[in-house]
Amino acid sequence: MSAPTPSLAAPPRPIIGVFDSGFGGLTVLRALLPRVPSAHYIYLGDTARLPYGAKSQATIARYAVESARFLADRGCNYLVIACNTATALALDDIRSAVTIPVLGVIEPGALAAKRTIPEPGGDVLVLATAATVQSHAYRTACAALGLRATEVACPLLVPLVEEGWTDHPVTRDVLSIYLTEALTRCAPQAVLLGCTHYPLIADAIEQTLRSLGSTAILIDSADATAAAATAALGHIPSRDTPTTEPPPTFECFATDSVEKFKRMGSFFLRRPIDHVHHLDLGG
């Protein structure tokens, strides 16, 4: 009879909150699931009040803080703001409102651009919503790394993705209009997708750039953010015991229709979402 293995208390499993105004943040969750499989994920889409992209700083901060508090109260010990607009306009407010670590999408995106363009003074084109552009959060984050950012608002891309026109002549026409204008203003080495909806039309964006003669490398901030969160969570003990790790699990909350969230969310997450909790915020 062998001696029993010494029993150690299992380290706490990380609970990662992922927040977005709607469905786009599910592209960040999709990138996170295989990277931090030991975690439990709680995703919150503030779908009753989306989109944030055309609203004011005060309104966005109020909505984002309410959402972040819900996730912290729910037991999350790490929070990913998987929404460019909320990161750009409310990251400081969110960090003041909760005591857990909070990661936004903008700094990881800018750092990924920096790795792509090793020489100093490189040019980055940032495609984003109107509110993100007006905040100049990407310009600030890029400047801190010695990069020049040109920020271009693309308000029609979110509705086109949500219409499901991810591979459609109208989407290519709209991209051509936006990118032609953008390329008169800069000659970028990297193009940063500054909205979590845009990874779904990454192919169309890349093809349009090539057709306009640009060789810029496309950077997906969802991937960059997932990598940054993985690096930060490397310090959480449960990742040291891979053989006892449970598979990643997630649950979803939405402030509007759970049926629509299941349908649209499954499209963004690229796996079925069978159950969604309804949540009232600001009611």
* Phi, psi values for residue 41, rounded to 5°: -110, 140
In SS3 terms, 101-161 reads as CEECCHHHHHHHHHHHCCCCCCEEEEEECHHHHHHCHHHHHHHCCCCEEEEEECCCHHHHH
219 closest CA partner among 134, 129, 141, 127: 127
Segment interacting with a copy of itself, rule: CB under 8 A, options 24-32, 53-61, 225-233, 235-243: 53-61
- By CB under 8 A, residue 65 contacts a copy of itself: no
- Which residues, 153 to 212, sit near a copy of itself by CB under 8 A? 155-156, 158-160, 162-163, 169-170, 173-174, 177
User: Which residue's CB is nearer to a copy of itself, number 87 or number 255?
Assistant: 255
- Which residues, 217 to 256, sit near a copy of itself by CB under 8 A? 255-256
State whether the Cα torsion 176-181-187-188 is positive or negative. negative
Of the listed 76, 83, 186, 252, which one is catalytic?
83
How many chain residues interact with a copy of itself (CB under 8 A)? 27
Respond yes or no: is residue 195 known to be catalytic: yes
User: Which residue's CB is nearer to a copy of itself, number 58 or number 144?
Assistant: 58
Respond yes or no: is residue 83 known to be catalytic: yes
State whether the Cα torsion 128-132-134-138 is positive or negative. negative
- By CB under 8 A, residue 47 contacts a copy of itself: yes
Q: Are 125 and 216 in contact (CB under 8 A)?
A: yes
- Tracing tokens 């003041």 back to the chain, one arrives at 96
The reply to whether omega before 246 is within 30° of 0 (cis) is no
Segment interacting with a copy of itself, rule: CB under 8 A, options 152-160, 191-199, 207-215, 230-238: 152-160
Interface residues with a copy of itself (CB under 8 A) are: 47-49, 54-56, 58-59, 62, 155-156, 158-160, 162-163, 169-170, 173-174, 177, 255-257, 260, 282-283
- By annotation, the residues acting in catalysis are 83, 195
